[in-house]
Amino acid sequence: MAADAEQGEGVKVVPRMKLGSQGLEVSAQGLGCMGMSAFYGPPKPDADMITLIHHAVHSGVTFLDTSDIYGPHTNEILLAKALKGGVKERVELATKFGITFVDGKIEVRGEPAHVRASCEASLKRLHLDCIHLYYQHCVDTRLPIEVTMGELKKLVEEGKIKYIGLSEASASTIRRAHAVHPISAVQLEWSLWSRDVEEHVIPTCRELGIGIVAYSPLGRGFLSSGPKLVENFSNDDYRKYLPRFQAENLEHNKKLYEKIVEIAEKKGCSPSQLALAWVHHQGNDVCPIPGTTKIENLNQNMGALSVKLTPKDMAELGEIGSGDSVKGDRYSPGTRTWKNSDTPPLSTWKDV
């Protein structure tokens, strides 16, 4: 876990950490910005979200995570507004490319022309000369990962991006990509109810010196609020359609939340702080990026950095989130994840 957070003038100070082996340094906890603009119900008012982002940066949460698909595009535009007036000099901004909507359907793209066009468009929307961390959001399995990485390497050499990341990539894909150009961070879902990356993906990242960015560390809100969260989903909240939030799975998954609540009460913290602290305690190479649209939740999330977990606590928490404690897949069938992210061998590619 990163160095302890300190208290100063009523504002928690978030420590810094190294992410990967190429020199990227970020706040030990980041801020996922997706829910401000997309997927978790209607977009929130820009003015409120800008206030939230400014509060985060002032508090030391300077690692901001977005993507060109959030909106699409509107979340990057929101961040550009929030980062005016010298704020952008204080942040580490990560964005992503590779997922597009075509005629209402999702397409995953990683061909060089799309990589370059996406980067140029994000730079323009964000009003930046260089993106700190540029992720491939989803692996395009139609072409070798080396082809996509080759173009990303060119963008680094041209000064348009500083560090390269992958998201939802398998161990073998990470290894092949890293051989083309060092990967600084891999973004993956990791929480008390999402443990599937622990067997192969996490060890590969650690072997190669790649930082780990944990998205949805609060189980898309379930580990904070439990089953009652579902009652407040709006019609356009896509969590309504995820398997774990379906009625047939929710009753079973409630048991996991109840155990988290029980342990949190003993530790004198909230369930969300306990769940986040579990992620922080996975190691100094792990940076969770919980998202929120409320300042009070942001403050509570920062408090997770001060929660101390003993080896016994970690064992108890690890046990309740293991095995068949969770019912339902992370995503609906057909969604691209690390499990189906392997790409063809470079030797089979005709266009190189």
Give the Å distances, CA to CA, from 254 to 27, 128, 233, 234, 267: 32, 44, 17, 21, 20
Mean pLDDT for the chain?
94
* pLDDT of 11 strictly over 60: no
First-to-final CA distance of the chain = 42
Q: How much is the pTM?
A: 0.95
Q: How far is CA 208 from the centre of its chain?
A: 20
Q: Token pair for residue 5?
A: 């957070």
Report the phi/psi class of residue 71: left, alpha or beta, with left for phi > 0 and alpha for psi in -120 to 50.
left
Q: Catalytic amino acids?
A: 70
Q: Token pair for residue 102?
A: 């075509």
Q: Residues 240, 41: contact at Cβ < 8 Å? A: no
Supply the pLDDT for residue 10.
39
Supply the pLDDT for residue 9.
37
Rounded distance between C-alpha atoms, residue 68 and residue 83, angstroms: 17
Maximum Cα–Cα distance for the chain, whole Å?
Answer: 61
Q: Residues 297, 222: contact at Cβ < 8 Å? A: no
Supply the pLDDT for residue 12.
54
* List of domains in the chain: 16-221+280-295 (3.20.20.100)
User: What confidence tens digit (pLDDT) does each residue in 199-229 have?
Assistant: 999 999 999 999 999 999 999 999 999 999 9
Rounded distance between C-alpha atoms, residue 30 and residue 280, angstroms: 12
The mean pLDDT value for 26-43 works out to 97
Supply the pLDDT for residue 13.
76
Contacts of 39 (CB under 8 A, 6+ apart): 70, 237, 238
Identify the band that residue 311 occupies on the pLDDT scale cut at 50, 70 and 90.
very high
- Cα dihedral value 13, 17, 23, 26, nearest 10: -50
Candidates 246, 244, 234; CA nearest to 39 is 234
Q: Residues 310, 69: contact at Cβ < 8 Å? A: no
Side chain identity, residue 165: G
* pLDDT of 70 strictly over 80: yes
For tokens 């959001």, name the residue.
Answer: 137
- Cα dihedral value 168, 173, 178, 181, nearest 10: -90
Rounded distance between C-alpha atoms, residue 27 and residue 29, angstroms: 5
Identify the band that residue 105 occupies on the pLDDT scale cut at 50, 70 and 90.
confident
Give the Å distances, CA to CA, from 201 to 8, 166, 188, 208, 311: 38, 12, 9, 11, 23
Q: Residues 260, 223: contact at Cβ < 8 Å? A: yes
What is the SS3 string spanning 248-303?
Answer: HHHHHHHHHHHHHHHHHHHHCCCHHHHHHHHHHCCCCCEEECCECCCHHHHHHHHH
